[in-house]
């Protein structure tokens, strides 16, 4: 598999560099805490961690502005955090509390935030792609110069909706940014065991969509590719497709014994940890020292502690409200 | 009041909605250049252009999903799925996304989407083109299901559907398109109200969509036999007008439900259960059902007709209650 070599991306100033690292660190620590709380039984249901893939959500989100839309999957804590959904509201949602970002109706897999145009986590593989096509269509019909960013795993590539959505987005030249998080496994099925063509961006190109493969462990590479892609989408030149090559360090979900991959393989990918890589990059340019790192770690720990406190503090939705929000009132 | 066909009523309602609201647009397979598989959208491309009358590829799941996304994005899409048979390819989007989004998002996002399609058998199209699965959709909280059986309702329910904050599925029985009738102007109907099509005191016949006409013919034959049948047209399967059903059965003490779908697990079973729950003491006879035969729809005319409810089978079922 080849990754298109473009000039190595550079960080846009120290402050920005620290901000990227801070966001990735928040996701990492948030996810570690979620796993811990899951083991304690306060988070239930399915829990899919984003550890190892942080550079993608953080890098890609740099290219979006407030008016843009985000569609994600069940593995979406990272995207929600990077989009600015408050950590406390996400944690509260996983607790099933009324102050959760979906009022305790969604849980880990279904985070929503209308204010931030975060259109949710979708738990049917590939099910979010057609929704993203429609959001982009609505933008185009209303003459809005916005981007709909649609995240999905490489497992979605095998579904019909993937192909239908790419075709329709290209055919109608919709302002849609496809972000395929290729972490090489769909649950236990390795990409090469499910696809005859494993270079996913080539599939996008066959639909006449501008597409490239990007090192998803390099936050700067993701950021610059996303900026380039979003700029083209915003110009009205139709969709853009990024295949972001990454790896999930943890199990698929909390109930996965990981029989399908070797410890050596995981260790090898841990050698390219997106946080460690970027930390080294910043240190190498004298943008980060031990004291900065300590501060960043303390900030992340603090944010996560706050999030947990907010979740603990939240109340439960009364069972009397069970059937609310099934239908709205008649609209004008 | 204007005389027109059911097909024209659907078209007129869409035209009226698109003239009144720039957010409304139509998309689906062959709705534009072809004029609609049932000629429902004939002429709309000429009036509104390809931006608002959008031909889609054969991608049911994705263009229904795109309708959901466009509704989330502030539009009022009408998605035409050629027939209910092909809607099976879009079930995931309808059931997992359209129906759930409001609740799953804690009330933050609604999906004001109208999905229309032809339904039903009776045209010798055999087992893959004759389904009556609207009862399946009525099973699902979060969506509304309307089944207009008259010209006036085709128009009225479509316009009402576009006023909803939630997804509505409209099922147009394919044999109804040439039906002529009066279309009322200006009335916005309420979704969830059944219609009393015929007053009677001896038995309540409950039907919807394509089964209504046959049920009315059965009522006329029953009158000749001295049985005065009441006919209720459900019009909406979800929400269901349980009140009207129970009031009628409480007056007549007998009920027969007529539905083209298979009997096992069909919508008639739901109506039957509501009567048991709410009017058991009023019944003088068991509730009866006249439904489709339990067989994939056969092609040959005599076999197909035998598989569908007919005025004669309805009459026979009613006679069995006395
Ligand atoms: C349509 C569908 N089939 C199966 C599943 C069960 N399932 C959940 S996640 C998953 C793997 C998806 O892998 P991928 O798209 O690569 O995303 P990742 O979990 O790696 O982020 C499967 C098979 C599902 N949720 N939806």
State residue B186's pLDDT score. Answer: 67
Q: Is the peptide bond before B260 cis (omega within 30 degrees of 0)?
A: no
For residue A113, the distance in angstroms to the closest alpha carbon of chain B comes to: 7
Same fold, B2-183 and B195-319: yes
Tokens representing A181 are 């998080």
State residue A6's pLDDT score. Answer: 56
Cβ-defined contact of A129 to B62 (cutoff 8 Å) = yes
Whether the CB-CB separation of B241 and B275 falls below 8 Å is answered with: no
> In angstroms, rounded to a whole number, what is the distance separating the alpha carbons of residues B226 and B214?
18
> In angstroms, rounded to a whole number, what is the distance separating the alpha carbons of residues A198 and B151?
54
Q: Taking CB atoms and an 8 Å cutoff, what residues of chain A touch B97?
A: 122, 124, 127, 131
| Domains of chain A: total | 1
Q: Decide if pLDDT at B28 tops 50.
A: yes
> In angstroms, rounded to a whole number, what is the distance separating the alpha carbons of residues A52 and A266?
10
Please name the fold of domain B2-183: Rossmann fold (3.40.50)
For residue B20, the distance in angstroms to the closest alpha carbon of chain A comes to: 12
- What's the average model confidence in pLDDT over B252-280? 98
Domain ranges of chain B: 2-183, 195-319
Q: Decide if pLDDT at A201 tops 70.
A: yes
- What's the average model confidence in pLDDT over A11-15? 91
Residue with tokens 């057609």: A130
Q: Which of A57, A79, A155, A158 to mutate to test the pocket of ligand 1 (most atoms within 8 A of CB)?
A: A155
Q: What is the 3-state secondary structure (H, E, C) of A271-328?
A: CCCHHHHHHHHHHHCCCCCHHHHHHHHHHHHHHHHHHHHHHHHCCCCCHHHCCCCCCC
Q: Which residues contact A255 (CB under 8 A, 6 or more apart)?
A: A46
Tokens representing B153 are 């309702």
**More reliable by pLDDT, A254 or B292:** B292
> In angstroms, rounded to a whole number, what is the distance separating the alpha carbons of residues B221 and B319?
11
Whether the CB-CB separation of B298 and B304 falls below 8 Å is answered with: yes
> In angstroms, rounded to a whole number, what is the distance separating the alpha carbons of residues B216 and B231?
7
What is the average pLDDT value for chain B, to the nearest integer?
97
DSSP state of B94: I
Tokens representing B180 are 């002529």
Please name the fold of domain B195-319: Rossmann fold (3.40.50)
Q: Which residues contact A204 (CB under 8 A, 6 or more apart)?
A: A166, A178, A211, A241, A243
CA of B139 to the centre of ligand 1 (A): 26
pLDDT band at A8 (very low <50, low <70, confident <90, very high): confident
> In angstroms, rounded to a whole number, what is the distance separating the alpha carbons of residues B119 and B172?
6
Cβ-defined contact of A327 to B106 (cutoff 8 Å) = no
Using a CB–CB cutoff of 8 Å, tell me whether B111 touches chain A: no
Residue with tokens 């999957």: A73
Q: Decide if pLDDT at B257 tops 60.
A: yes
pLDDT in tens, B90-130: 999 999 999 999 999 999 999 999 999 999 999 999 999 99
> In angstroms, rounded to a whole number, what is the distance separating the alpha carbons of residues B286 and B280?
9
**Where does residue A145 rank: exposed (0-12), middle (13-18), buried (19+ CB within 10 A)?**
middle
pLDDT band at A87 (very low <50, low <70, confident <90, very high): very high
Residue A189, in any domain of the structure? yes
Strand partners, A123: none
| Residue A185: domain span | 14-321
CA of A251 to the centre of ligand 1 (A): 13
Q: What is the pTM of this model?
A: 0.95
Residue A70, in any domain of the structure? yes
Whether the CB-CB separation of A154 and A191 falls below 8 Å is answered with: yes
Give me the interface pTM, i.e. the ipTM: 0.93
> In angstroms, rounded to a whole number, what is the distance separating the alpha carbons of residues B204 and B210?
18
Residue of A nearest to B190 (CA): A330
CATH number at residue A308: 3.40.50.970
Cβ-defined contact of B106 to A160 (cutoff 8 Å) = no
Q: For residue A252, which atom of ligand 1 is closest to its CA?
A: 19
Tokens representing B160 are 């009402």
Q: Decide if pLDDT at B173 tops 70.
A: yes
Task: Give me the phi and psi of A34, to 5 degrees please.
Answer: -60, -45
Whether the CB-CB separation of B131 and A136 falls below 8 Å is answered with: no
Residue A7, in any domain of the structure? no
- What's the average model confidence in pLDDT over A27-37? 98
């Amino acid at each position: 598999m080849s990754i298109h070599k473009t000039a190595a991306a550079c960080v846009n100033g120290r402050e920005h560099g620290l901000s990227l690292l801070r966001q990735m660190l928040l996701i990492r620590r948030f996810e570690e805490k979620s796993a811990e709380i899951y083991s304690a039984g306060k988070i239930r249901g399915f829990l899919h961690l984003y550890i190892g893939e942080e550079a993608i959500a953080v890098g890609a989100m740099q290219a979006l502005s407030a008016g843009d839309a985000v569609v994600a999957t069940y593995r979406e804590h990272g995207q929600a955090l990077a989009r600015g959904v408050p950590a406390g509201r996400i944690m509260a949602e996983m607790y099933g509390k009324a102050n959760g970002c979906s009022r305790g109706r969604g849980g880990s897999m279904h985070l929503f935030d209308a204010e931030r145009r975060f259109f949710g986590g979708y738990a049917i593989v590939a099910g979010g792609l057609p929704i993203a096509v429609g959001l982009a269509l609505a933008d185009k019909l209303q003459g809005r110069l916005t981007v709909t960013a649609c995240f999905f795993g490489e497992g979605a590539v095998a579904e019909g909706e993937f192909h239908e959505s790419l075709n329709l987005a290209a055919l109608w030249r919709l302002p849609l940014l496809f972000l395929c998080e290729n972490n090489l496994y769909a649950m236990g099925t390795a990409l090469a065991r499910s696809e005859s063509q494993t270079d996913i961006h080539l599939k996008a190109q066959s639909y006449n969509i501008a597409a490239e493969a990007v090192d998803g462990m390099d936050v700067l590479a993701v950021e610059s590719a996303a900026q380039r892609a979003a700029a083209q989408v915003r110009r009205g030149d139709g969709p853009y497709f990024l295949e972001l090559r990454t790896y999930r360090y943890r199990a698929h979900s909390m109930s996965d014994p990981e029989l399908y991959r070797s410890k050596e393989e995981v260790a090898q990918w841990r050698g390219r940890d997106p946080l460690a890589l970027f930390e080294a990059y910043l240190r190498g340019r004298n943008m980060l020292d031990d004291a900065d790192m300590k501060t960043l770690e303390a900030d992340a720990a603090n944010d996560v502690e706050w999030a947990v406190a907010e979740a603990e503090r939240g109340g439960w939705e009364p069972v009397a409200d069970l059937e609310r929000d099934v239908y709205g009132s008649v609209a004008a | 009041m204007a005389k027109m066909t059911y097909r024209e009523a659907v078209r007129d309602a869409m035209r009226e909605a698109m003239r009144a609201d720039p957010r409304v647009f139509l998309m689906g397979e062959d709705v534009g250049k072809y004029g609609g598989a049932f000629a429902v959208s004939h002429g709309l491309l000429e009036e509104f252009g390809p931006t608002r009358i959008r031909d889609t590829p054969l991608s049911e799941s994705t263009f229904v999903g795109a309708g959901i996304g466009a509704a989330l994005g502030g539009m009022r899409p009408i998605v035409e799925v050629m027939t209910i048979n092909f809607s099976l390819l879009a079930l995931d989007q309808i059931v997992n996304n359209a129906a759930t989004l409001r609740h799953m998002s804690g009330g933050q996002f609604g999906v004001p989407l109208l999905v229309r399609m032809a339904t039903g058998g009776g045209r010798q199209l055999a087992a893959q083109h004759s389904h009556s699965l609207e009862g399946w959709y009525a099973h699902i909280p979060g969506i509304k299901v309307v089944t207009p059986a008259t010209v006036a309702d085709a128009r009225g329910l479509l316009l009402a559907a576009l006023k909803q904050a939630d997804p509505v599925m409209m099922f147009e029985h394919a044999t109804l398109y040439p039906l002529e009738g009066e279309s009322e102007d200006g009335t916005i109907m309420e979704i969830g109200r059944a219609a009393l099509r015929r007053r009677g005191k001896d038995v309540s016949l409950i039907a919807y969509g394509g089964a209504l006409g046959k049920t009315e013919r059965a009522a006329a034959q029953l009158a000749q036999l001295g049985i005065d049948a009441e006919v209720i047209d459900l019009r909406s399967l979800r929400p269901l007008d349980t009140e009207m059903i129970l009031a009628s059965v409480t007056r007549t003490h007998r009920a027969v439900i007529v539905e083209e779908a298979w009997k096992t697990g069909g919508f008639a079973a739901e109506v039957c259960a509501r009567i048991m729950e709410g009017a058991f003491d009023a019944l003088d006879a068991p509730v009866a059902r006249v439904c489709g035969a339990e067989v994939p729809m056969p092609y040959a005319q005599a076999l197909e007709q035998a598989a569908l409810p007919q005025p004669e089978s309805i009459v026979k079922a009613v006679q069995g209650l006395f």
